[in-house]
Amino acid sequence: MRTPAVMIVGLVLCPCGLLLTLTGTLAPNWRQVSLIPDQPSDLILEQGIWDLCRERQSSHDRLCGQEDELGYFKEVPVQVARGLMPSSLVLTVLGLVVAALGVRCWQKEPQHALAGASGLVLLLSGLLSLVPASWYTHELEVLPAPSGATLTVGYSLVLSYLGSCLEILGGVALTLSFHHCCKERRASKTPPSPVLEHGTRSITGAYSNPWDVLEDERDGRRGRSTLPCDSDL
pLDDT digit string, tens, across residues 88-134: 999 999 999 999 888 876 667 778 888 899 999 999 999 999 999 99
Banded pLDDT at 196 (limits 50, 70, 90): very low
User: Given this structure, which CATH class describes domain 5-189?
Assistant: mainly alpha
Is residue 204 predicted with pLDDT exceeding 50?
no
Q: How far, in Å, CA of 89 to CA of 84, rounded?
A: 9
Q: Which of 61, 64, 56 is nearest to 34 (CA)?
A: 56
Helix (H, G, I), strand (E, B) or coil at 98: helix
List of residues 6+ apart from 138 with CB closer than 8 A: 77
Average pLDDT over every residue of 1-16: 85
Beta strand 52-56 with 31-34 is unpaired
Q: Tell me, what's the pLDDT at 40?
A: 87
* Domain boundaries defined on the chain: 5-189
Cβ atoms of 171 and 125 closer than 8 Å: yes
Instruction: Give the distance between the most distant pair of CA atoms in the chain.
Output: 124
- What's the pLDDT tens digit per position in 96-106? 999 988 887 66
Choice between 23 and 209, residue whose per-residue pLDDT is larger: 23
Choice between 197 and 155, residue whose per-residue pLDDT is larger: 155
Q: Tell me, what's the pLDDT at 51?
A: 93
